[in-house]
């Protein structure tokens, strides 16, 4: 196995949380289950990764195998990506039917390689007639960078495609320009016929909810700049409560104590931006929104 492939697999496995390790490795289906059973999954992660890489070396894992593992990891953590949504349109009167996914993959890769020599393209079929495409870009003089790929999720029965952030701006148009298709009476075309553009309806998705969040945020914080504050501190003292009887904590008479501190160069503006950014629900907790009204940034919270 090539050293670059071994390093690629090592880095990918290091990203996988221990709680998901076995699930993702089984989904990868590269290492047989009887080999996985010989691995000690309770050892330190660095040692575990080394053992798994050695097994991959014994099976002569290829770059394609390593890329497939990366796709599976990304599928499990797709919520961590920022996705753009494109809708493919067709010419008036054009009758486009569902096409052969295998022929699509072959032609998609051929067209990308025609436009850019140094590129690695990998595919993985998913549920609901979707295909995941992983593209590692290179340049005219450099091999593809396997650590900054772009992912495309395409649903063959819909006109929509989802693309992750592309680090190489010069290559982004290759994805956003066109997609191939064919219908029942015409062969798969080597020219790219379907222009892709942002669907205006998707841009305004959840418009009513966004307007509500904006309204609630303005009612809470106002439409003026917030006072500058760099931190807020909360001391919590509470008795342990549980539906289960018994246990050391349930018998504890002293309250549980903890200290929570929020800090930011401009804390109130940061809190004001949470709901509009989709990071928190609106309205925010009164424990956070009361800071300007009370003129305090030290709070002690006790049981009533």
Q: What is the CATH number of the domain that holds 239?
A: 3.10.20
Task: Say how many domains are in the chain.
Answer: 3
Q: How big, in percent rounded to 5, are the helix, strand and coil portions of the chain?
A: 40, 20, 40
Is there a single domain that holds both residue 170 and residue 96?
yes
Classify residue 103: in a domain, yes or no: yes
Is there a single domain that holds both residue 9 and residue 36?
yes
Is there a single domain that holds both residue 72 and residue 128?
no
Provide the token pair at 145.
């960078």
Is there a single domain that holds both residue 125 and residue 145?
yes
Provide the token pair at 74.
């990304």
Classify residue 175: in a domain, yes or no: yes
Q: By C-alpha distance, which of 204, 200, 182, 183 is closest to 191?
A: 182
> 95 CB contacts (<8 Å, ≥6 apart)?
183, 184, 185
Q: Reading across the β-sheet that carries 231-238, which strands appear in turn?
A: 256-263, 231-238, 298-302
Residue 301, pLDDT score: 86
Classify residue 197: in a domain, yes or no: no
Is there a single domain that holds both residue 122 and residue 74?
no
Q: Are 25 and 36 in contact (CB under 8 A)?
A: yes
User: 98-138, pLDDT tens digit by residue?
Assistant: 456 777 788 778 878 877 778 899 999 987 778 899 999 88
Provide the token pair at 282.
């609106």
Is there a single domain that holds both residue 28 and residue 59?
yes
Residue 193, pLDDT score: 34
CA torsion, points 8, 9, 12, 17, in degrees to nearest 10? Answer: -160
Is there a single domain that holds both residue 19 and residue 93?
no
Q: Are 204 and 195 in contact (CB under 8 A)?
A: no
CA 3 to chain centroid? 28
Q: How many CB atoms are closer than 10 A to CB 95?
A: 9
Mean pLDDT of the chain: 79
Min mean pLDDT across 49-63, 156-170, 265-279, 290-304 is at 156-170
Classify residue 198: in a domain, yes or no: no
Residue 96, pLDDT score: 45
User: 30-85, pLDDT tens digit by residue?
Assistant: 999 999 999 999 999 999 999 999 999 999 999 999 999 999 999 999 888 888 87
Whether the per-residue pLDDT at 145 is higher than 80: the answer is yes
Is there a single domain that holds both residue 60 and residue 113?
no
Classify residue 260: in a domain, yes or no: yes
Is there a single domain that holds both residue 117 and residue 169?
yes
User: 241-253, pLDDT tens digit by residue?
Assistant: 765 555 666 677 7
Q: What residues make up the domain containing 110?
A: 87-181
Question: In the listed set 35, 62, 80, which residue is the last one of a domain according to the structure?
Answer: 80
Is there a single domain that holds both residue 68 and residue 133?
no
pTM over 0.85: no
Classify residue 127: in a domain, yes or no: yes
Q: How many CB atoms are closer than 10 A to CB 31?
A: 18
Alpha-helix runs per DSSP H in 116-182: 172-177
Question: In the listed set 56, 80, 104, which residue is the last one of a domain according to the structure?
Answer: 80
Question: In the listed set 181, 198, 231, which residue is the last one of a domain according to the structure?
Answer: 181
Phi, psi of 273 (to 5 degrees): -90, -5
Is there a single domain that holds both residue 240 and residue 272?
yes
């Amino acid at each position: 196995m090539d050293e670059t492939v071994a390093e690629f697999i090592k880095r990918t496995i290091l990203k996988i949380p221990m709680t998901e390790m076995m699930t993702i490795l089984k989904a990868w289906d590269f290492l047989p289950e009887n080999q996985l059973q010989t691995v000690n999954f309770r050892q330190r992660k660095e040692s575990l990764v080394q053992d798994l890489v050695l097994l991959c070396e014994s099976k002569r894992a290829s770059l394609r195998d390593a890329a497939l593992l990366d796709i599976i990891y990304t599928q499990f953590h797709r919520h961590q990506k920022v996705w753009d949504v494109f809708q493919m349109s067709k010419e008036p009167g054009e009758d486009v039917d569902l096409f052969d996914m295998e022929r699509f993959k072959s032609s998609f890769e051929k067209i990308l390689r025609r436009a850019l020599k140094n590129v690695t393209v990998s595919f993985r079929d998913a549920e609901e007639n979707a295909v995941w495409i992983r593209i590692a870009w290179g340049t005219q003089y450099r091999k593809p960078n396997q650590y900054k790929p772009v992912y495309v999720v395409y649903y063959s029965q819909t006109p929509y495609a989802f693309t992750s952030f592309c680090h190489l701006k010069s290559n982004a148009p290759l994805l956003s320009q066109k997609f191939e298709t064919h219908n029942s009476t015409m062969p798969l075309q080597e020219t790219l016929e379907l222009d892709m553009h942002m669907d205006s309806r998707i841009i305004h998705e959840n418009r009513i909810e966004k307007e509500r969040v904006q309204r609630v945020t303005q009612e809470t914080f106002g439409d003026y700049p917030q006072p500058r504050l760099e931190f807020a501190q909360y001391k919590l003292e509470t008795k342990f409560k549980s539906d289960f009887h018994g246990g050391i904590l349930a018998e504890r008479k002293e309250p549980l104590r903890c200290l929570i501190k929020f800090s930011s160069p401009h804390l109130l503006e940061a809190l004001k931006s949470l709901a509009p950014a989709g990071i928190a629900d609106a309205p925010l907790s009164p424990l956070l929104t009361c800071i300007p009204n009370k003129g305090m940034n030290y709070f002690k919270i006790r049981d009533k």
